[in-house]
Copies of this chain bind each other. A is one copy, B any other.
Amino acid sequence: MLTFFLDKTNPLSLYEQLYLKIKESIEQGTLKKNEKLPSKRKLASHLKISLTTVESAYAQLLTEGYIKSKAKVGYFVTTDLDLLYKMNKKPQKAFEVKKEVEYEIDFRTNQIDATKFPYDKFAKIERDIVLDQLKNNINRGDIFGVYEFRQRIAEILFSYRGIRTLPEQIIVGSGSEHLILLLVLLLGRDKVYSVEEPSYVKNYQLYRAYGTTVKAIPLDEEGLDVSVLKFEGCDIVHTTPSHQFPKGIVTPVVRRIELLKWASENDDRYIIEDDYDSEFRFFGNPIPAMKGMDKFDKVIYMNSFSKSLAPSFRVSFMILPEKLINKYRNTLSFFSSSVPTTNQLILEKFISSGEYEKHLNRMKNNYKQKRDELISLLNNSSFSDKIRIYGEEAGLHFLVDIKTEKSEKYLVDKAKEKKVRVYSLSEYYINERLVTDTKTIVFGYSNLNLEQLKRGIKLLELAWKNI
């Protein structure tokens, strides 16, 4: 008869110990297929344990399928556990982590100033929401996003961007990854999509990953040329008309109207207006959004809180034309909103309490100060006679053309030797052959303080002494 040592001092209960011992015997082949197990009563008396203990162990083995019961005959092992199961699992290796260069100064464009976020106020609002509102919302999952939050977004869009929209047309999602996915599902994988060249390469990668045909459309000095869109047979164009990324072009009104007309000529055509950093314009009025002049309802407006709050918040949103809202309801309403409900309620309160507006105003001053400092540092640098700065009126980056025979790669590599990360314009191109001869560096400054900006330019003076 089965004899196991069961240990009363073991933190596992006797029934668990018995269950594990029998399971082990089956797995190791001590107990073979069709072998009969002792009756519960006999085993209990043999091991001097209660009948209930044996019953529980047998029940668990039955549930997991190690044994089966034949009425009035008893319990039997179901099977020999074959090679696969007996094989030793190969030992796991730790994953190699590639050693990355550690930069001292990184002029990246996709960060915010982490030191200026109103953590106290945010913590207070979070706490209030969790204690007051979460109970009534913890099971909630609005398809389009939390309605009150979408109301606040509609208000912001009207007052900051001159866009009139209903909350019902707004969809909240966790980043461009999610919104672009929804758009591809909504508009169809069979359409021809296009992005600007140069642009944020990730968007191109997303459209491609989602299985669409996607073309990178070269820009002229006013932005997208409609005749190129026509020539390339594009249906959908993803564009940044108010501040082209990364080149900083503002698409003039005439060009905007051409684009809107182009879209209106065919049912399949849509313009995706990516208004990624419209919150920060340092000169004059904000550039109006194209969506504000969208008489034919052909513009899908997209923005996020990545620049105005933080990229790690993962909150983006888009406005769908009326026609697409109905299609979305009918075909994609099985998607839940991808942003946690609490986070949406917190942002709703952050906006309605006025903290959001205060924060934006503070950040605008803060970023303007950094921008001015960086421009002044560049203009007083040892290479100041070789540079032309442009695209500095808006957003959290600008461009610097550098007169040199050296390549952009040389400029980036030399900076890297001094542990400074700068970004060449060519890094934003899909088609290398479209890269122009001009040597251009894209400077982001949002998460560097004035000291770091100074240090960065000092190191670049050393790095670029032979250009």
Return A282 CB to nearest CB of chain B, in Å.
12
A138 near B164: Cβ-Cβ < 8 Å:
no
Q: Given the complex, which residues of B lie within 8 Å of A84, measured CB to CB?
A: 257, 260-261, 264, 295-296
Instruction: Knowing A95-B166, A127-B127, A284-B63 are in contact, say whether A339-B293 is a contact too (CB < 8 A).
Output: no
> Taking the complex as formed, is A313 at the interface, i.e. its CB lies under 8 A from any CB of chain B?
yes
CA distance A417 to B288 in the complex (A): 52
Instruction: Give A82 Cβ to nearest chain B Cβ, in Å.
Output: 7
Binary B-proximity of A201-214 (CB < 8 A = 1, otherwise 0): 11001100101000
Given A175-B336, A206-B334, A339-B174, A285:B141 Cβ within 8 A:
no
Q: Nearest chain-B residue to A122 (Cβ)? A: B130
- Whether B254 contacts A78 by the Cβ 8 Å rule is yes
| B residues less than 8 Å from A2 (CB atoms) | none
How many identical chains are in the complex? 2
How many A residues touch the partner, as a band? 35 or more
Contact B138 A253 (CB under 8 A): no
Question: A241-266 vs B: 1/0 string, CB under 8 Å?
Answer: 00000000011111111001100100
A92 vs B291: C-alpha distance when bound (angstroms): 14
Query: Is A389's CB within 8 Å of the partner chain B?
Result: no
A150: min CB distance to chain B, Å: 12
Q: Are A252 and B64 in contact (CB under 8 A)?
A: yes
A10 interfacial by beta-carbon distance below 8 Å: no
Which residue of chain B has the shortest Cβ distance to A310 in the bound complex? B138
Q: What residues of chain B lie closer than 8 Å to A257, measured between beta carbons?
A: 81-82, 84-85
Q: Flag whether A158 is at the interface (Cβ < 8 A).
A: no
Tell me the A41-98 residues at the B interface (CB within 8 Å): 56, 59-60, 63-66, 78-79, 81-82, 84-85, 87-90, 92, 94-95
The answer to whether the Cβ of A136 comes within 8 Å of any Cβ in the partner chain is yes
A189 touches B (CB below 8 Å): yes
- Chain B residues closer than 8 Å to A3, beta-carbon distance: none
Q: Is A467 an interface residue (CB 8 A)?
A: no
A313 to B189, CA, bound (A): 30
Taking A84-B260, A122-B134, A314-B339 as given, write out 7 further A-B residue pairs in contact, using a Cβ cutoff of 8 Å, ordered by the A residue number.
A65-B255, A112-B138, A174-B174, A174-B340, A177-B338, A312-B342, A314-B336
- A sample of 29 inter-chain contacts (CB < 8 A) reads A63-B287, A64-B250, A64-B252, A65-B222, A65-B252, A66-B253, A84-B260, A84-B264, A84-B296, A85-B293, A92-B166, A92-B322, A94-B166, A95-B169, A111-B139, A114-B138, A123-B126, A123-B130, A126-B127, A138-B310, A138-B312, A139-B312, A174-B338, A175-B338, A178-B338, A189-B211, A202-B334, A211-B211, A314-B338
